[in-house]
């Protein structure tokens, strides 16, 4: 082969600049088409993990009911952390998420406050629990704690473990869940009327139609509308600007506290608290909702978990929050 033949062969087998640009363009188009599919697949996986979390929490509540003959107590208020020494009934100041810890393989965390160990309760408060976190919303971590309040049985922490899930407190009129009694003795001494004034189980209108309520427990027999027709717990709405700041009023506490906007939500239609997707610059601390664009997920009292549309009929949503109103549910409106 002559020199001129070799040079001609090299030139004919090389890419031209135009050909290279065409290949790069095609690759760019393919990547652009692939990225949304990858993102959708990742979000589908995150939603499945979130659903699995709710399933785990629902089964834990039902296992609690099997062990103690009633569902987990709703606790006292945001000023109180779960107390290992106080049992599982209405004397327990911690909320439902604290009370199910032994049923999600977190017995050690549950027992950190044993023998009136206030430092242990504070240590528990700052501990994140993976089962309480929706991976679409945030990572499993302790986040800054900026809320100033009364602290009755734990010390104010610098960071706190939060939860993306809330219990169903019914369709009652929502009032501020005040801190409640300042000592255990005072709480034990309060009458049913005293607790009713704070929205307790024995009266008042704040949440008595739901499954979790202040200083009280719910029996499965009390869910007269049927376990498959009543919300147990689900995803809660949080301002999308404040996933890590603690500035959202319904997300400024931790999973360890008692009855509050952090641990419970409502289905009240007179308050306009319909379920909503998380959005910037907006707080709906009474409402269910989620970070998912396709809907919010709810666990029912039979242990099943369902994705609900944000456009759910508000009356249907209200009825699903009330365990005993005797009204039927139209499945077509879900």
Per-residue pLDDT tens over the stretch 196-224: 777 765 444 445 799 998 888 999 999 99
CB 226 within 8 A of CB 331: no
Contacts of 330 (CB under 8 A, 6+ apart): 313, 316
What is d(CA 312, CA 277) in angstroms, rounded to the nearest whole number?
13
CB 211 within 8 A of CB 263: no
Sequence ranges of the domains in the chain: 11-333
Residue 333's pLDDT band, with cuts at 50, 70 and 90, is: low
pLDDT over threshold 60, residue 308:
yes
pLDDT over threshold 60, residue 13:
yes
What is d(CA 34, CA 12) in angstroms, rounded to the nearest whole number?
33
What is d(CA 306, CA 90) in angstroms, rounded to the nearest whole number?
30
What is d(CA 78, CA 55) in angstroms, rounded to the nearest whole number?
25
Contacts of 1 (CB under 8 A, 6+ apart): 9
Per-residue pLDDT at 160: 96
Strand residues in 30-155 grouped as ranges (E): 143-144
The pair of three-digit structure tokens given for residue 183, joined into one six-digit string = 């000592």
Q: What is the mean pLDDT of residues 287-296?
A: 96
pLDDT over threshold 80, residue 156:
yes
pLDDT over threshold 80, residue 11:
no
Tens of pLDDT, residue by residue over 171-200, are: 887 766 677 899 999 999 998 888 877 776
Task: Look at the block and give the residue holding tokens 């990742």.
Answer: 42
What is d(CA 4, CA 36) in angstroms, rounded to the nearest whole number?
50
Tens of pLDDT, residue by residue over 22-63, are: 888 888 888 787 777 777 789 999 999 999 999 999 999 999
- The DSSP result for 217-269, as a single string, is ---GGG-TT-GGGSEEEEEB---TT-TTT--STTSSS-TTB-SSTTTEE---T
Task: Look at the block and give the residue holding tokens 């009543």.
Answer: 230
What is d(CA 301, CA 262) in angstroms, rounded to the nearest whole number?
20
Residue 151's pLDDT band, with cuts at 50, 70 and 90, is: confident
Tens of pLDDT, residue by residue over 65-113, are: 999 999 999 999 988 999 999 999 999 999 999 999 999 999 999 999 9
Residue 19's pLDDT band, with cuts at 50, 70 and 90, is: confident
**What's the pTM?**
0.88
pLDDT over threshold 90, residue 10:
no
Per-residue pLDDT at 154: 93
Contacts of 33 (CB under 8 A, 6+ apart): none
What is d(CA 155, CA 273) in angstroms, rounded to the nearest whole number?
33
Per-residue pLDDT at 191: 87
Residue 152's pLDDT band, with cuts at 50, 70 and 90, is: very high
Mean pLDDT of the chain: 89
- The DSSP result for 307-319, as a single string, is EE-TT--HHHHHH
């Amino acid at each position: 082969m002559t020199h001129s033949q070799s040079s001609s062969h090299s030139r004919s087998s090389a890419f031209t600049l135009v050909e290279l640009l065409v290949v790069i363009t095609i690759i760019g188009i393919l990547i652009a088409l692939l990225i949304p599919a990858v993102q959708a697949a990742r979000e589908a996986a995150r939603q499945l993990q979130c659903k699995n979390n709710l399933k785990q929490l629902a089964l834990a509540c039902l296992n609690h009911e099997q062990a103690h003959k009633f569902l987990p107590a709703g606790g006292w208020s945001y000023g109180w952390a779960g107390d290992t020494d106080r049992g599982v009934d209405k004397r327990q100041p911690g909320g439902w998420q604290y009370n199910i810890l032994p049923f999600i393989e977190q017995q050690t965390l549950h027992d950190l406050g044993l023998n009136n160990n206030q430092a242990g309760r504070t240590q528990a408060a700052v501990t994140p629990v993976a089962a309480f976190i929706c991976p679409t919303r945030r990572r499993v971590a302790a986040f800054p704690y900026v809320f100033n309040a009364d602290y009755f049985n734990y010390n104010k922490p610098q960071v706190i473990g939060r939860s993306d899930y809330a219990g169903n407190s019914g369709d009652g009129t929502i009032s501020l869940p005040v801190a409640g009694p300042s000592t255990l003795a005072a709480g034990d001494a309060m009458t049913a009327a005293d607790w009713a004034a704070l929205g307790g189980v024995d009266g008042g209108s704040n949440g008595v139609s739901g499954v979790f309520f202040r200083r009280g427990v719910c029996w499965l027999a009390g869910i007269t509308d049927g376990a498959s027709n009543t919300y147990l717990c689900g995803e809660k709405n949080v301002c999308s600007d404040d996933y890590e700041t603690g500035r959202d009023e319904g997300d400024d506490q931790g999973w360890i506290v008692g009855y509050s906007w952090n641990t419970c939500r409502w289905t009240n239609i007179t308050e306009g608290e319909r379920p909503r997707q998380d959005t910037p610059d907006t707080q709906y601390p009474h409402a269910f909702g989620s970070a998912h664009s396709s809907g919010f997920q709810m666990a029912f009292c039979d242990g099943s978990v369902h994705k609900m549309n944000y456009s759910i009929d508000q009356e249907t949503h209200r009825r699903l929050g009330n365990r005993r109103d005797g009204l039927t549910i139209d499945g077509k409106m879900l």
